[in-house]
Chains A and B, each alone.
Chain A
Amino acid sequence: MLAVLPAVGNAQEAVRNDTVVAMDEVVVRGVLSDQTRQIKDFYVANKAATTEDILARMPEVTMVRRGSYGSEPLLRTYNSGQVSVLIDGMRIHGACTDKMDPVTVYVEPQNLKGINIQTSGVAQVGSNVGGTVDLRLREPVCGCDRSVSGAVSSGYQSAAGYFYESGQLSFSKERWAVRTNATYRMAGDYRAGGGGVVANSRYEKMNAGLSALYKLTDSWNMKADFLYDDGYFIGYPALPMDVGYAAARIASLSLMKWKPEARWERMQYKVYGNTVYHLMDDTHRPNVAMHMDMPGRSTTLGAFGEASLRLGASRQLSLRGDFSATDLYASMTMYQPGQPDMYMLTWPDNRTIQSGVAATYTVRPDTLSSIIVSTRIDQFSSFLTTQDARDQLTVLQEHPDQSVNRLLKNLSFAYSRDLSEHFKTVATVAYAERMPTQSELYGFYLFNAFDNYDYIGRTDLKTENAFKGDVSLSYSTSDVLVSMTAFASRVYNYIMGVYEPTWGTMTIGALGVKRYANMGYGNMAGAEAAFVWKAPRATQVVSTFRYNYGTDDKGTPLPLINPFRNISSVRKKTGRWTAQLDAEMAVAQDRVNVAAREVRTPGFFKGNIRLAYATMYRLTAFTIEGGCENLFDATYREHTDWGRVYRPGRNIYVQVNCSF
């Protein structure tokens, strides 16, 4: 949905019904750019917004929130094992067994070129059943008028005593360009709607990026990227522990070709490596039954190549081949005075080697319609890498020395047709498979604070396979865009934790042990809609809707399914002033999964007001923004928030930006 917005920029993605939110106005061209900018302003509600704040406003995205930072993005009704989150096509695995480190925390919005969200059809970048979020990094630009440019921002928010500082500096020459950026965020414990302070919700983090581009020829570029991210204390009020320290280092080297009208129009080759280190911390919690250390590390090395081949005016072929190897390790050491240390592996050392090929063939039989066939095949192999890991898993399995090998097959067809000058429709059907996650395969007494159970993996899990379909209809004129998408899918071998009554818990206070198992199937459906209106007198209206529905094969509601939600905004520009009113509302969610100990979530209404003043002094642009989020101090939470922790209350913010 919202698909037609970037249609001019990349026809293929549009037809495949993806959402592309471009952060950089430069990359969006064409007649709809004004509306695209509106959408961007709509998603990026304030300049201090994090990548997850932006994602949270997108109708396809559900955020699983455990603290004020580090929420996990999910798509539609799909859970975290079913969705891939990538940075510039690179695979990155979190190092936390409790998913406290979603990949989205490593890219700051000022370093984002766009967010590609693929929900329908087959993912070209990796096998999954739920879709892909790909955070595309900004690139340095050669040959700019000014060889040095940059921006600094500073802001404060009242609800968490939150400071935000960021800077960005770019150098641009004829043949090379460098872009650097750094962001520092520090927030205290926030005040929830209605007044209560949420303990252990503070956080502090530092992010920096460096990107260098060198023009080899007119059409070939070489690019090196490095991302650095350190979190020093990140509170998770919904979990029994916080993050003491988290570090990610992400590096890549790319070779890119872009030659319009050439037979091989677009090519990209990338080698990359990344490592994430994660240390949990319970020393700031009262009444800890037993102090423990829980470190984890993930390391991924990979490479991929992509190419788009023009086979004539109406046919195009896109190819991709990729390879990656991920090493994971997490352990837990428990300390009891007077007792020897108790040590165990929570992710026994394991390695996953993945290689895949994908192809998309696009054909336009006439000027009004196009057909896209996409396919992808992945070979996965996961195995334990140390004797300690194999020894430990003898507790659960007969053959911990055997590797888990799975071949994943994916296929989709999309048909798009312009029904009239203003109406367009797209229909997609797909078959997709996904690999069980490392936690689902090897997890060893992973405590899940959502339902209070210890989770244990198993290596004989079958791959989930999904049959998916969706239909969208859009209406667009130069002033109005209306789009609607309805989707449905059935996921066979749906992987869920199943209560094992005879197994004892490990975690003190846990209710029992659940072991991952393939269920019959899960049924999911839902709809999204968007309305964008470029009203008279420089007024813009954006409104998005979503509804999700999911059950298992016995008709029981699936957990973590958000209810109907609407976000609307009205924006008016007068001279140098911009004013915006936002409203967010959700109805109550009564369809809960009792086995996952979900409870009803009441509906809520939340209003925001935003003001901005922009001015220029010589070549420097200044923007001062201010506003109030949760104007009425509503006490609310969303259904996918863990631990029934209320969201921030009334939050007054100011933000000064200066770019040159």
Chain B
Amino acid sequence: MESNFDFGNAPFFKRAREAGLRTAIIEGADDVVTRVSAGINTAEWRAMLRGDQPLTRPNPRLKPHADGFWLHMRPGYYNKAITGLYPTFRLGWLSTYFAVFELITGLFLMVFYTPSTLVAYENMLTILSNVPLGQFFRDLHRLGAEAMVLLVALHMLRTYVTASYKKPRQFTWFTGVILLVFTLGLSFTGYLLPWDQLAYWAVTIGASMAEAAPPPVVGQFVNILMKGAPDLGAAGLLRFYLLHVLVFPVLLTIFTGVHYYKVVLHGHSLPPELEKTGEDTAKRVPVPVRRYFLPDIQASEVLWIGVVTLIMCVAVIFFYDAPLENHANPQSTPFHTVAPWYFLWAQGLLKLGDKTLMGVIIPTILAGAFMIMPYIDVGPVRHYGRRRFAISLSMLFITFIAVTSWMGTPAFLVQTSLDQEVFHEMAPIEKIGYAHQVPYEQYEELVTAPDGGYLGMQTLSVTGTITADDGTVEAPYWRDAIPSDAEELAHMLEVYEEEVRHAMEVDPQFGGLPNAVALLHIEQVQIDLVGLTFEISWGVDPNNPDFNNSRYVPIHHDAYPLGGRGH
């Protein structure tokens, strides 16, 4: 009988009849493993895991590099000289890993997030309050993003110091600069998504640069294109979201592919004494110094990402919580708004002068200079000891970034009235200040009588006891009035006093508070809720203060410390 579908004569059954079912199953399984791993059979896998030499010749461990998709963008073997921690520090691999790490943690967060100004912030609260591992993944994603910016920058610095960008690897460097820009873009667009005050105002500062692109008509167009409206709002959030989850990840993936392929093409850059500038070493790794990717490099890479993942987990469990401030409010600019740390340098530059020059032209020139740098620095010397000018230039640049970043902080060129500074120090509206760190009970104790009754509003002075004309004490000096065991309260009041005393010595034209009288009123507002009022009066004439300012700070029993795990 003839049939196209000759089941009984399929290789497996034929083999089973010839050699028995057990052998057929083992051989079939071996065949499957070999096909899935693009050429490595079970025996070879076992040899690899045991650290044995390849079992057959030619080396079957090179086959996945030729036949498989994933490994075709990795070299089949490395030069032994660069397989240690030094000189690469694995920064390139870790940068790539963090892109994947962000993708995985980001997908988790995406499930619970809607890019709408109406619900985005509420989604964040849901992630933190009602999604198991929600805070864990958010912390990982946020910390990972910052780590990735740092790693990419360090990778770039390492490549610069070892002069690995020189011929023939100029284009690899060029794509690397583009990847740095995309990494910053990803971090920056993601910064906005929680839609809290921190996100809104940091991104507003960063995005204000786009508006300054010359000429004005272009700036306005870019601004509208990016935000969908003159100011950040619903359209802006959606656009930033799409850039964050779609545009930048796709671009990053494409350019990572190019970047990686160039490494396969030109081989790794070796230490200067092992390689002549201008020659690529991809196919010229002498057999004695070869380290095959499988299993040696692979094992190291997996170990590295394991170690880094563990560090990240430990960091977010014990030390780090991603910040979440109050709901974004375009009407209220928080005191001392700053850009994300990796854009502080730009904020510092912006303080120096023209927005177009400092915010657009200089950063563009910097990025352009980075991209074309390998095509200008064509000298053959690679050893850092003989590249004094280039190394000095990089140190100068790092100093420049450090100084401009410092200039971006409120410490530089931000003139404020010191009463605002004192209030901000004691009880900032968006962050945690000294007043929030005092245990609630210590406040309540001050307004509670020994029999448990409510004493009414208590007023403490931090600038000396205040007495009325008839000699009655209106506000006692705090050291005389608080219980001796209220350590945190004492510390808070001590700082308050120090700050005010410092401000009293500053010239009023620089925001000083001459003859300041500083008070703290404490009242019981509701059960488990006290209201603090920081009040400062000052004036040039000690008997007639012209100015008065106060800040009302309600403190609830349950509100602090912030963060779900007690930090």
> Is A bound to B?
no
Chain B residues proximal to chain A, CB less than 8 Å: none
Chain A residues proximal to chain B, CB less than 8 Å: none
